[in-house]
Amino acid sequence: MMKELLMGNEAVALGALAAGVQVVCGYPGTPSTEALETVAKRNPGGVYVEWSVNEKAAAEVAAGASCSGARSMVTMKQMGLNVAADPVMCVNYLGVRGGMVIYVADDPGPISSQTEQDTRSFGRFAHIPVLDCGSPEQAFRLTQDAFVLSEEKGCPVILRSTTRVCHSCAAIDVPEIHAPGGASGFEKDPRWVIFPRLSYENKKKLIAREKLLEEEFSGYRENRISGSGPIGIACGGISGAYVRDAIAGIEGYEEKFTLLEIASPYPFPRGLAEKFLDATEQTIVFEELDPYIEDALTELCGREQRIGKVLGKRTGAVPVAGELSALTVQQCLERAFRIPGALKPGEFPDAPEMPVRPPVLCAGCPHRGAFYAVKRATAGRKSVYCGDIGCYTLGNAAPLDMVDTCLCMGAGITMAQGIRHVDPDTLCFAFVGDSTFFASGITGVVNAVYNRADMILAVLDNSTTAMTGHQPHPGIGLTMMGTRSRPVDIEQVLRGVGVTSVRTVDPLDLKSSEEAVRAAAEEEGVRAIIFRSPCIAVTKPKGCMEVREKDCVGCRTCIDEIGCPAVLMKNGTAFIDGSLCTGCGLCAQLCPADCITMEVSES
């Protein structure tokens, strides 16, 4: 046993390894990404790890491993659970042999997602047990419990975490990690074929299992009641830490409050909750994100005619969206119960006003060149630019203004088709990254070809999954097991599904990129332009651009046209910040005074 400082995602990974996980699959997505990466990094041997092409594929690989008797885990963020919903819903009806854990990281705020989404509610919808992590230490324990529970009940188990748990750190006693034993292998059985009659019978078993779990979870060690006061506080996940911080400084808080902490929100530990309600006069609920515990307690109160007993998001006593904090909890308690708290907002000396720093594409990002080439080539034409999920979503910012829509991964391709069908005199572009193309874009392209759509697909190929930390994907050929496979060629895929017009250009060459866009714009049907240039984070800078001050006319074209953060104005002339510039050369190509040149790096 050795004590290690681990972030929450690392704790989940090591908890899985300690539990003898044999197969781990996933798709990168903040805030979940580090879990799978840690399994790969700490692999003791004998554990198969992969970045799957998307979350649906990952869940299906994990289900196959579980059917073969192996313990498996699939990792994703809350948005990825939507992609994986089809197999996740079905595997619960089939059941599992080896323990199957579905690790989902929710993103209150949201900080790095399109939406707030509560996986606890999905678990109830799917009839899958949910364990909810409240700290890195608890995440380590719950991961191991989830595998045991999965095998005991013959069902997948959702392990839910949130951003603050995923990325906070704690000292955890980690046992020596050994390579897992071999799995028994797949055994043929009609149970693995999902027919309606089988699903009908298994649905009844699911409901019966839920009743048993309600009772078992009421005695689960991670569900706790503490304190003996008349005011009840119910919470789950990271909210428990906020509550403890908020009430710790209140004199006699143990006699004022009774605290219920729920680590297994579904099935809800009804017996424990009833005991809690019996011991309190009124209850307030703190949780992220849905009023999940609140609704469960309210239902219990309704059944037993405890009217007006529960306060929370539904009653306006607690904020309905975003993250909570210890200070927020204290403020809610003060408003609801007139109990002054001990927490004080931090007092710091007056700091200088922070500059406005909106998110922008990195200096030297090849996506900037692709967007700008399309913008120049389509100037004066009625055009719509459908975007997608990734770094290139930032193309919506001024001065580029080149992302008109962004819905979910892969949707830019199909949204462009819908817009064109309704607005036939519009030139429709769909921008998609290389990783997103493989994850969820190919289906949309097939749909476009089959239905004779009229659109231009712009694949922004920067040779990595950039936004989530530069993970590999099928177009690179490097796997998480360290092996090399033949890279999947995007142009061949496009031609294989029927796209006959495919051009590949370097987006840092504005002239050839504009020519490619203009040529595609004059064609009809589905045509594609692959803008191929590596992300600046995975390639060596070419050098640094510099401005000849004596020739600069101060026109600001280099700043106002492309918005590169490395290009500034200084003393009336353009200035290039050498600490940011990568030497991409875009600014030089559009400078009307021809006063920007390359300063080649000596290294």
Q: What is the DSSP string of 491-555?
A: HHHHHHTT--EEEEE-TT-HHHHHHHHHHHHTS-SEEEEEEE---GGGS---EEEEE-TTT----
Nearest alpha-carbon partner for 456 in 434, 429, 493: 429
Task: Please give the structure tokens belonging to residue 522.
Answer: 């004059």
* pLDDT-wise least confident of 189-198, 226-235, 399-408, 539-548: 189-198
Backbone dihedral angles phi then psi of residue 171, each to the nearest 5 degrees = -85, 125
- Sort 282 into a burial class: Cβ within 10 Å, 0-12 / 13-18 / 19+: middle
Q: Which residues belong to CATH 3.40.50.920 in the chain?
A: 217-337
Q: Which of 317, 315, 318 is nearest to 287 (CA)?
A: 318
Measured distance CA(161)–CA(269) in Å, rounded: 19
The pLDDT of residue 191 is 79
Whether the CA torsion 433, 435, 438, 440 is positive or negative: it is negative
564 is in an annotated binding site: yes
Confidence of residue 600 (pLDDT cuts 50, 70, 90): low
Sequence-separated (6 or more) residues with CB below 8 Å from residue 259: 224, 225, 226, 227, 232, 233, 234, 235, 240, 243, 244, 247
Q: Which of 194-198, 267-271, 392-396 has the lowest mean pLDDT?
A: 194-198
**pLDDT bracket for residue 464 (50, 70, 90):** confident
Taking only the tens place, the pLDDT of each residue in 151-171 is 999 999 999 999 999 999 999
**Alpha carbons 444 and 446: distance in angstroms, whole number:** 5
d(CA 261, CA 276): 10
Q: Tell me the two tokens of residue 250.
A: 């209140």
In the numeric block, which tokens belong to residue 547? Answer: 């401005």
CATH code of the domain occupying 217-337: 3.40.50.920
Is the pTM value of this prediction over 0.85? yes
The whole-number pLDDT of residue 308 equals 63
Check whether 558 is labelled as a binding-site residue.
yes
Q: Using CA atoms, how far apart are residues 471 and 549, in angstroms rounded to an integer?
A: 41
Q: What's the rounded mean pLDDT across residues 460-473?
A: 86
Q: How far apart are CA 325 and CA 98, in angstroms?
A: 38
Average pLDDT over residues 484-511: 95
Q: Is 139 left (phi over 0), alpha (psi -120 to 50) or beta?
A: alpha
DSSP assignment of 267-332 equals S--HHHHHHHHHT-SEEEEE-SSSSHHHHHHHHHHHHTT-TT-EESTTTTSS-SSS---HHHHHHH
Buried b (16+ CB within 10 A) or exposed e, 90-129: ebbbbbbbbbbbbbbbbbbbbeebeebbbbbbbbbebbbb
Percent of the chain with pLDDT over 90: 70
Q: What is the pLDDT of residues 293-331, one digit of tens each?
A: 999 999 988 876 666 689 999 999 999 999 999 999 999
Which of the following CATH numbers is that of domain 366-532: 3.40.50.20, 3.40.190.10, 3.40.50.2300, 3.40.50.970?
Answer: 3.40.50.970
Neighbours of 36 (CB within 10 A): 30
Give start-end residues of each CATH 3.40.50.970 domain in the chain: 2-173+187-194, 366-532
φ, ψ at 193 (rounded to 5°): -110, 115
User: Is the pLDDT reported for residue 602 higher than 60?
Assistant: no
Read off the pLDDT of each residue in 470-489 and give the average, rounded to a whole number. 86
Q: What is the mean pLDDT of residues 479-490?
A: 88
Which residues, 6 or more positions from 573, have their beta carbon under 8 angstroms from its beta carbon? 547, 549, 552, 554
| 555 annotated to bind ligand | yes
The CATH number of the structural domain formed by 2-173+187-194 is 3.40.50.970
The mean pLDDT of the chain is: 91
What is the DSSP pairing of strand 282-286 with strand 257-262? unpaired
d(CA 480, CA 35): 13
Task: Please check if 67 is assigned to a binding site.
Answer: no
Higher local confidence (pLDDT), 562 or 251: 562
Question: What's CA 342's distance to the chain center, in Å?
Answer: 35
Q: How far is CA 64 from the centre of its chain?
A: 24
- Is residue 365 within 8 Å of 371, Cβ to Cβ? no
- Within a 10 A sphere around the Cβ of 70, how many other Cβ atoms? 26
Give the range with max mean pLDDT: 6-10, 465-469, 479-483, 575-579.
6-10
Q: Give residue 479's pLDDT band: very low, low, confident or very high (50, 70, 90).
A: confident
Look at residue 230 and give its three-state secondary structure. Answer: coil
| pLDDT-derived band at 603, boundaries 50, 70, 90 | very low
Q: Which two tokens stand for residue 153?
A: 């009940």
Which residue is associated with the tokens 């307030």?
284
Over the stretch 351-382, which tens digit does the pLDDT of each residue have? 788 777 778 899 989 999 999 999 999 999 99
Residue among 466, 462, 464, 495 nearest 477 (CA): 464
Architecture of the domain whose range is 544-599: 2-Layer Sandwich (3.30)
Can you list the pairs that 324-329 forms with residues at least 24 positions away whose Cβ atoms lie under 8 Å?
324/108, 324/238, 324/239, 324/242, 324/286, 324/288, 325/242, 326/241, 326/242, 326/243, 326/245, 326/246, 327/246, 328/242, 329/239, 329/242, 329/243, 329/245, 329/246, 329/286
Prior bond to 474 cis, omega within 30?
Answer: no
3-state helix, strand, coil in the chain (%, to 5): 40, 20, 40
**What is the model's pLDDT at position 445?**
95
**More confident position, 447 or 468:** 447
N- to C-terminal Cα distance for the chain? 45
pLDDT band at 61 (very low <50, low <70, confident <90, very high): very high
Tell me if 587 is assigned to a ligand binding site: yes
Non-local (6+) Cβ contacts of 258 within 8 A are 225, 226, 227, 228, 229, 230, 231, 232, 233, 276, 279, 280
More confident residue, 195 or 77: 77
155 is in an annotated binding site: no
